[in-house]
Amino acid sequence: MRNPTHPERGAVPAEAALMMRVLAGDRPALVEIHDRYYPAVYRFVSLQVADPDLAADLTSDVFVRFLEAITGPNPPQSTLKGWLFGVAKNVVRGHYRQVYRHPEVGLEEDVDSDDAELDAAVTRDEERAALADAMSALTEEQQHVLALRYGAGLPILEAAETMGKTAGAVKQLQARAVAALARQMTQRTASV
Amino acid sequence: MNAQSDDLRHEAELIDALDALERGESVEAVLRRNPAAAEALRPAIETAAALAAAARPPSAAQVDASRNRLLAAFDALAAGAASAPSSAASSTSAASLTRAASQSPAAASHRPRLAIDRDVAPPRPMTRRAPRPLRTIWAMAAGVAALLVGVPVAYAASNALPGDALYAVKEAGRGAWLATAPGAEAHRARSAAVSAARRADVAVAMAGGRNADVLFEGVIEAYATEWCRISGLTVNVPPDVAQYGASEHPGAFGVGDHVFIRARMNAGRLVAFEMLPYLDYGLPAPTVPHGPADSRLAPSPTPSPAVPGGTAGVPGTTAAVPGAPTSDPPLVGATAPGRARPATTADSPGRADDSRSTGGQDVGDDDRGGDDRGGEDEGNDDKGGDDKGGEDEGDDKGGDDKGGEDEGGDDKGGDRKP
Q: Is B66 a member of any domain?
A: no
**Phi, psi (deg, nearest 5) at residue B376:** -105, -10
What total number of domains does chain B contain? 2
Contacts of B329 (CB under 8 A, 6+ apart): B224, B225, B227, B296, B297
**Confidence class for position A181, pLDDT limits 50, 70, 90:** very high
3-state secondary structure B231-288: CCEEEECCCCCCCECCCCCCCCECCCCEEEEEEEEECCEEEEEEEEECCCCCCCCCCC
Q: ipTM > 0.90?
A: no
Tell me which of B359, B378, B411 is where a domain ends. B359
In total, the C-beta contacts within 8 angstroms joining chain A to chain B are: 398
On whether residue B375 sits in a domain, the answer given is no
Q: What is the pLDDT of residues A157-178, one digit of tens each?
A: 989 988 888 999 999 999 999 9
- Indicate whether B205 and B344 sit together in one domain: yes
Is the domain of B50 the same as that of B194? no
For residue B94, give Cα distances in angstroms to B86, B97, B98, B166.
Answer: 11, 5, 6, 16
pLDDT, mean of each 10-residue run, chain B (418 residues): 74 90 89 88 91 86 92 80 44 41 40 30 41 64 70 68 80 78 78 84 83 84 80 83 59 75 83 73 41 39 38 49 42 42 35 34 34 36 36 37 36 35
How far does the CA of residue B286 sit from the closest CA of chain A (Å)? Answer: 14
Per-residue pLDDT tens over the stretch A6-19: 333 334 567 777 77
Name the residue ranges covered by the structural domains of chain A.
Answer: 12-191
Within a domain: residue B42? yes
The CB-side HSE value for B277 (13 A sphere, CA atoms) comes to 36
Let me know if B267 is exposed, middle or buried by CB neighbors in 10 A (0-12, 13-18, 19+). exposed
Chain B contacts of A85, Cβ < 8 Å? 369
B130-148 pLDDT per residue, tens: 455 566 666 777 777 766 7
Bridge partners, B223 (sequence order): B228, B332
Q: Do B118 and A102 touch (CB under 8 A)?
A: no
Residues above pLDDT 70, as percent of chain B: 46
Whether B72 is in a domain gets the answer no
282-341 of B, contacting A, C-beta below 8 A: 282-283
Pair B75, B172: CB distance under 8 Å = no
Could you tell me if residue B282 is inside a domain?
yes
Residue B49 belongs to domain spanning: 2-54
CATH code at B206? 2.40.50.140
Q: How far apart are CA B87 and CA B318, in angstroms?
A: 19
- The full DSSP string for A103-142 is -------------HHHHHHHHHHHHHHHHHHHHTTS-HHH
| Domain finish residue from B312, B343, B359 | B359
* Three-state DSSP class for residue B227: strand
How many angstroms separate the CA of residue A113 from the nearest CA in chain B? 15
Q: 3-state class of A87 per DSSP?
A: helix
CB atoms within 10 A of CB A112: 5
Length of chain A: 192
